[in-house]
Structure 1
Amino acid sequence: MTKTEANTLISSASFDAKEQVLMRPPYLKTGDTVAIVATAGVLKNKKSVEKAIQTLEEWGLHVVLGKHVFADNFHFAGTDEERIQDFQLALDDGSIKAILMARGGYGTGRIIDHINFEKFKKHPKWIIGYSDITVLHSHIHNLGVETIHGIMATSFSTENDDKTAAIASLKAALFGDHLQFNIPSSSYNIPGTAKGQIVGGNLSLLQNLTGTSSSIDLTNKILFIEDIGEYLYHIDRMLYGLKRNGYFENCKGLIIGYFSNIRENSTPFGMTLEELVLSITKEYDFPILFGFPAGHEDKNLAFIMGREIKMKVGKKNSSIKFKDSY
C-alpha cells in the first residue's frame, strides 16, 4: 500500500462508534500542485499573494491561480458565479492536491449551496483557510473529509517570528508531520482531559450556520472558536445562540483561540471575554482551554479540522495532541 492510499484509508477501530470517521486527503509531496482561489473578499492587488506563491514554490510545490482570483466586484473577489467557477474547477481538477484560500472577509456563504462536491468526496484534497472559510470547514466536515484551519495566501506577506511559526505549522500539516501543541497557562482554564474530533472556527460564522445543512453536530467533539472585532455583547449573544441550539450539550471540550480587537460599548458589558465564556458554560463539565494560538493574529497556527485530538487542560500547562502523534 502506498502512503497516499494509507492516508485515505478509513479505519474505525480506534474511534467512538457514534462518531463519523473522516477521510484524510493525501499529504502533499514535492511536485504537487496547489491552487490559490478566492471565495470571499476582494484582493487589494496582485502583490498580496506573491509571498505565498514564493513560499509554496520553495516547498517544491507548483502553484496555479484561479482565473478570477483578482476580480473586483465591490466587496467580493468577482461575482458569485466567478467565485463558484474558480472553486469548482479547483475541486474537480485531479492534478490539484490542495486549495489555499486567498483571503477571508465575506462571501463563501453566498456560494456554498452552488458547489458540487461529488468529485471531491471521491478524491479529497486539502482545503486551507480560516475566518469566512469556516463555512467550508463545517460543510466539508459533514461530507466526511478533513480540512486545515490555517493562514491564507494574503497572510504570508507579513514577516516576523509569529508569522514564520504560522507558515511552518501549515507546512507541517500539509506534509504530514505530527501535530502537537503546548499551550501557556491561563488562570481561567477549566482543567480536565478530553478526546474527540476538533471542529469549529469563527464564532460569527458558526452561529450563522445554525439550522443549515452546514451546521455540525457537536456530539463527542471538541469545539474551537475565534473571532475578531466583535462587541462583548455580540459574543455573549452568539454563544447563547449556540447554547440554545444544543451546541454544548454533548460537547467534549472547548478551545478558545484569539478574540482579537474586542470592542466595548460606552456602557461597559461588565464581564471579560473569559468571564463571559465561563458564565455561559458553567453547568457543563467539559474542560475549557483559553489562549490557543489560532485566529486573527500573526501566530495563527495551522491544525487539522476533523482530526481526533487528545486535550489535557491544566492551570499551569495544557497540551493538544493530534491523532498520529499519540
Structure 2
Amino acid sequence: MITPLQPGDKVAIIATARKIDRASIEAAVQVLQQWGLEIEIGPTVGATYGVFAGDDALRLQDLQQALDRPDIKAIICARGGYGTTRILDQADFSRFQEQPKWVVGFSDITSLLCHIHSLGIESVHGIMPLLFPSGTEAALDSLRRTLFGEEVQYEVSPHPFNRTGTGQGQLIGGNLALLHNVSGTRSDFSTRGKILFLEDVDEYLYNIDRMMVHLSRAGKLDNLAGLIIGHFSDMKDNADPFGKNAYEIIAEHTAKYNYPVSFGFPTGHEPDNLALVCGREAKLEVSEMGVRLGYTLNSNEV
C-alpha cells in the first residue's frame, strides 16, 4: 500500500525520456511547493544527449536513485517524448517493491506505469510538470487529491458512441502506442477483468487501426470489465484518407463486446487530463445521462 503524501514530503522530478530544461518546470515546482511539498530536481533535468534527457546511463541512474531513496516519497516524471523503454529492463525495482511510492506521468511514461502495475503496485497516470502551465484547474487538483489520498470521483458528459453498463475492476491503461509497444515484454500485463483506458496523440489514423487490431488479436480487449477512451489528439491522415476518425475506428473494433465503453473521457494529451490511479479497483458506470468513475478500494493485486 502506498502512503499518501503529507506536507513536508520530498518529491523528485526526473526526466526518463526526452530532454527538458529547468525553466520549463519552474511553474510546476512552484505549484508543488504550494501544496507543501519539498522538491528535488534530478540531474536529468537540463541534461542533453541527442533528443534524450542525458544518455541511458544517466537516466537510469536518476530513476534508480529516486526508486531507492526512502526520503523521496514520490517520483514525478518531468515530461514524456521517447526513451523510457530504453532503460526499463536495467532498473532494479526490489527496494521500490519493499517501500512503494507514487510514480506519476503519462504518454511515454505509460511503459513505466505498466511495469509498475506488473509488480502489483499502484501508480498515477496524470499531468506532468512540463504541462502544468497549460493544465486545467481540474487536472491539477485531481493530481493533488490523488497524491494526498483525498477522495476522487469523476462525472463526464455522455458521448454518442458510449455503450451503457456498469463494470468494476482494476483501472489500467495509458497511451495506446506504448501499450502496443510493451506487449510481449516484461512490462506487459493481463487486462482480464480490468477497466482499460486508452489515449494517444500525433498518430496516423491507419496506425490507430493497426494497434487496435493488435490489441484485439492479442486478446487484450476480450474480457475487460470496461473501456475508457480518452483524448485522441492531433490525429494525422494520409493523402488517401483512411475514412474514419479515431473514435470511429475504436468503436468499430469494440462493437462485438458487451462491457461498458466511455468515449470522450478527459485523459490524455489535452489540458484537461484527469489523474487516474493505475492498479486501483474502480467502478465505471455508463448511462444515457453520462459517465461516473470512482474508486471502490485500494488494491495491490495484479
The superposition leaves residues 305-326 of structure 1 with CA deviations (integer Å, 9 ceiling, x where unpaired) of 111111111233111011259x
1:154 corresponds to which letter in structure 2? L
User: What is residue 190 of structure 1 aligned with on the other side?
Assistant: 163
Contact map agreement 1:191 1:313 (CA 8 A) in 2: yes
Equivalent residue for 1:265, pick from 230, 238, 258: 238
Please say if 1:157 is aligned against 2:130: no
User: What is residue 3 of structure 1 aligned with on the other side?
Assistant: none
1:67 corresponds to which letter in structure 2? P
1:170 corresponds to which letter in structure 2? L
Q: Mark the runs of 5 or more structure 2 residues left unpaired by the alignment.
A: none
CA distance in 1, matches of 2:215, 2:104: 25
CA distance in 1, matches of 2:44, 2:254: 43
Q: Mark the runs of 5 or more structure 1 residues left unpaired by the alignment.
A: 1-7, 9-24
User: What is residue 152 of structure 2 aligned with on the other side?
Assistant: 179
Q: Secondary structure at the match of 1:323?
A: strand
Contact map agreement 1:178 1:324 (CA 8 A) in 2: no
Q: Secondary structure at the match of 1:63?
A: strand
The TM-score normalised by the length of structure 1 is 0.89
User: What is residue 95 of structure 1 aligned with on the other side?
Assistant: 71
Q: Secondary structure at the match of 1:84?
A: helix
1:219 corresponds to which letter in structure 2? R
CA distance in 2, matches of 1:64, 1:318: 38
CA distance in 1, matches of 2:252, 2:103: 34
User: What is residue 11 of structure 2 aligned with on the other side?
Assistant: 34
CA distance in 2, matches of 1:114, 1:180: 36
User: What is residue 244 of structure 1 aligned with on the other side?
Assistant: 217
CA distance in 1, matches of 2:202, 2:288: 28
User: What is residue 109 of structure 2 aligned with on the other side?
Assistant: 133
Contact map agreement 1:186 1:316 (CA 8 A) in 2: no
Please say if 1:113 is aligned against 2:89: yes
1:124 corresponds to which letter in structure 2? P
Contact map agreement 2:16 2:44 (CA 8 A) in 1: no
Equivalent residue for 1:224, pick from 186, 193, 197: 197
CA distance in 1, matches of 2:291, 2:133: 31
2:19 corresponds to which letter in structure 1? V
Contact map agreement 1:40 1:107 (CA 8 A) in 2: yes
Q: Secondary structure at the match of 2:214?
A: helix
CA distance in 2, matches of 1:240, 1:292: 22
Contact map agreement 1:179 1:303 (CA 8 A) in 2: no
| Structure 1 position 164, deviation (Å) | 1.9
Contact map agreement 1:180 1:320 (CA 8 A) in 2: yes
Aligned-pair identity in percent equals 46
The superposition leaves residues 229-286 of structure 1 with CA deviations (integer Å, 9 ceiling, x where unpaired) of 1111110000101111110121111100000011122222122222211211122111
Q: Secondary structure at the match of 1:241?
A: helix
Equivalent residue for 1:305, pick from 269, 278, 282: 278
Q: Secondary structure at the match of 1:114?
A: coil
User: What is residue 17 of structure 1 aligned with on the other side?
Assistant: none
The superposition leaves residues 120-146 of structure 1 with CA deviations (integer Å, 9 ceiling, x where unpaired) of 000000000000000111000010100
2:5 corresponds to which letter in structure 1? L
Q: Secondary structure at the match of 2:136?
A: helix
CA distance in 2, matches of 1:53, 1:223: 31
The superposition leaves residues 147-206 of structure 1 with CA deviations (integer Å, 9 ceiling, x where unpaired) of 001011111133xxx522211111000001111100111111011110000101000000
1:40 corresponds to which letter in structure 2? A
1:36 corresponds to which letter in structure 2? I
CA distance in 2, matches of 1:270, 1:75: 34
Superposition RMSD on alpha carbons, in Å? 1.2
CA distance in 2, matches of 1:213, 1:243: 20
Contact map agreement 1:48 1:157 (CA 8 A) in 2: no
1:198 corresponds to which letter in structure 2? L
Greater than 3 Å deviation, 4+ residue runs: none
